[in-house]
Structure 1
Amino acid sequence: MRAVRAVTVTPGVRDSLRLVPDHPEPPTDEGAILVEALAVGICGTDHEIVAGEYGEAPPGTPDLVLGHEALGRVLEDPTGTLQKGDLVAGIVRHPDPVPCPNCAVGEWDMCRNGQYTEHGIKALPGFARDRWRVQPKFAIGLDPVLAPVGMLLEPASVVAKAWDHIERIGGRAEWQPQTVLVTGAGPIGLLAALLAAQRGLSVHVLDLATSGPKPELVAALGATYHSVPVGQLDFDPDVVVECTGAPSVVFDAMCKAGPAGIVCLTGVSSGGRTIDFDAGALNRELVLENNVVFGSVNANRRHWDLAAEALARADQDWLKSLITRRVPVEAYAEAYAAGPEDIKVVLDFQL
């Protein structure tokens, strides 16, 4: 086997991104399943970590291996959970050691005390290295058809959770949703629209971009693309999935849902910005229309499994179109530099 290359940062130190050419082999205490890395996807969280705004190294080391959107191939699995050659992704979040009531029952995405850990983000090494290990309970086997796009499983798990919770909330009454508005056409927004389309709903996606691949990707789902402010839309959706985190869009989305509507917030605002809004009007809207607004982040194993099923039955050419750049490991700095028309950038360990 060749030496392990790993993309690392020193958390809290801006622009400490580097490629370590001879990183140690993953120790067996990380997990019994040994995996050859195929690719990792890069997202806004990675950019924040590289900028020194976020991230936590594992205990005893100053550095953090990046990469939480993983795709790999099994090299060995003595437990028999997977077979050599199987495609696999690693679940990002692990339960806290206490554990809190939610972590104790496998709902670690709803951790109550914040002591969870996350690969490539918080206190666990990530997957941006030639070989990594995973425990069987955190390993998700993938359909072979997903070999080119399996790194999309992590963002897909986030929206699978969002839809799971939307449907649970909808069950509070007789619920027959027809119209969905997704705000933002980045990877999360497009995957949220995909899962909405798979549910047979009328899907609308709103984004400021009027050129580039986004309008065509939305149209390919049979959805309608909008590039106007939320308040100018001529319909009141049953469901809104907000994926921008932009404060004005968040507020408008909360006000736009129809009666008994559900608004799921998946975008994370950067903070430090204020907007003027009528809190009383928002209160009146939510109360008198029986509307629900809730936040959703991360995913547990149930959602990863749902996401894997959703991706496997999706149009594979459409999924491939979400990947706008594939960058070899040696050009890692290019991969972590955001481009104006990027949707999903992938660091490819096989190029």
Structure 2
Amino acid sequence: MKAVAVFPKGREVKVIDVPEPRLGSPTDVRVRTLEVGVCGTDKEVVQFKHGKPPKGEDYLIVGHECLGEVVEVGAQVKNLAPGDLVVPRVRRPCPSPDCLPCRTGATDFCVTGEYTERGIQGAHGFAAEYFVEDSQYLHKVPRELRGVAVLTEPLTIAEKALREVAHVQTRMPWQRQLPGKAVVLGAGPVGLLGAMALMRAGFQTTVYSRGAKPNAKAELSESLGAPYVSSKENPVDALVKQRGKADVVYEAAGVASAAFELLTALAPNGVFIFTGVPESEEETLDEGVLMKQVVMNNQVLIGTVNAAAVDFESALEDLGRFRAKWPGKVERLLTARHRPEDYAEVVTGKKRSDIKDVIVFTPE
């Protein structure tokens, strides 16, 4: 079967022919890949800054944002049947008996770093015509979400973040659960999906991104009801003057300097969520001023990575809600679909579209 793989030793990215996988246990499910989303993590894997092949192999099949269709199930699989649409989770637990998160199903909080992640770290991904997965890591997708369900995994980033915000804000029992203000840093797929999730949760949400208007991301953001403010035209103090300080900042840009500059826009008792994994930058901020701000305002900074089963279920529910609330808008996030042979050019930017690119293995 056809698969897209990286070869770290030779620093190659190419479409290869590999054996089609077969069921290996009674709980396995064989899935035909329909679509695989492309994101910043894929770029790091292709640039060989991140990622590792399975033990004993010289290549890694890429792809971790996936929508597929079940074609075969093991004898003990009761919750799925051929023809069902599914999305797989990405991370698998580490082997350490002392890692309580992994032993209790919270692999997104693994403390050893010895987990595997399909398409990223030590396990082949989903950018192949077929894959096999244990049924416990698959989530059934309503048929009506066929056109947008490839966005499930990137939406789980926001779902987990909102779950963590809810936990943190229980520290203020005197505060009524009224909608607050939120700012999303970045207008890529993760940012725009995060804006939708925050708005669904009741936050007055602003998208803050570098690109000057007009642009496709700004148009989509404002069509959702989230004002778009360009950081190129409006420094942070101007943003605060226009929109007020934010109770929640959702960082989805992966640029450290922009994130820490925006920290000054966080309201007292606010929560700042970091989701990006930036490269090192030359320090230009006053750490003392920022530390004083965080201490004096009882603020919380959260780093979040990966997501749990509950977040995948929430994401699927929210995709349905988003489509009902904003007809046609979720679909507009998916701005281009490509052949597997185009993967490298898409990831490196030569064929990248405005918002979200998807690799299609099984056309509708």
TM-score range, shorter chain: over 0.9
Deviation track 1:149-193 (CA, whole Å, cap 9, x = no partner) reads 111111011111111101111111134441100000011111110
Which segment is superposed worse, 174-183 or 92-101?
Answer: 174-183
Contact 2:22-2:30 within 8 A present in 1 as well: no
Secondary structure at the counterpart of residue 320 of structure 1: helix
Partner of 1:230: 236
How do 1:37-76 residues align onto structure 2 when only pairs under 5 Å count? 37-76=33-72
Contact 1:157-1:307 within 8 A present in 2 as well: yes
Q: Distance between the aligned counterparts of 1:177 and 1:12, measured in 2? A: 51
- Segments of 4+ moved more than 6 angstroms: none
Deviation track 1:226-246 (CA, whole Å, cap 9, x = no partner) reads 002323211101110011121
Deviation track 1:27-67 (CA, whole Å, cap 9, x = no partner) reads 43386111011010011111111111111001121010001
* Structure 2 residue 242 is matched with structure 1 residue 239: no
How do 1:1-351 residues align onto structure 2 when only pairs under 5 Å count? 4-11=1-8, 13-14=10-11, 16-20=12-16, 22-29=17-24, 32-78=28-74, 79-99=77-97, 100-173=99-172, 174-175=174-175, 176-209=178-211, 210-227=213-230, 228-233=234-239, 234=241, 235-271=244-280, 273-315=281-323, 317-338=328-349, 339=351, 341-351=353-363
Q: Distance between the aligned counterparts of 1:219 and 1:13, measured in 2? A: 45
Shift of 1:106: 0.7
Contact 2:14-2:341 within 8 A present in 1 as well: no
What is the TM-score of this pair, normalised by structure 2?
A: 0.91
Q: Distance between the aligned counterparts of 1:144 and 1:230, measured in 2? A: 43
Taking a change above 3 Å as real, the CA distance of residues 12 and 251 of structure 1, as seen in their structure-2 partners, is farther
Shift of 1:12: 5.7
Contact 2:345-2:352 within 8 A present in 1 as well: no
Deviation track 1:205-254 (CA, whole Å, cap 9, x = no partner) reads 00111233101111122111100232321110111001112122111222
Contact 2:346-2:352 within 8 A present in 1 as well: no
RMSD over aligned Cα, in angstroms?
1.6
What percent identity do the matched residue pairs reach? 36
Q: Distance between the aligned counterparts of 1:292 and 1:184, measured in 2? A: 20
Contact 1:197-1:221 within 8 A present in 2 as well: no
5+ long unaligned stretches in structure 1: none
Contact 1:140-1:305 within 8 A present in 2 as well: yes
What is the TM-score of this pair, normalised by structure 1?
A: 0.94
Contact 1:254-1:293 within 8 A present in 2 as well: no
Shift of 1:279: 1.9
Contact 2:21-2:130 within 8 A present in 1 as well: yes
Which segment is superposed worse, 5-14 or 23-32?
Answer: 23-32
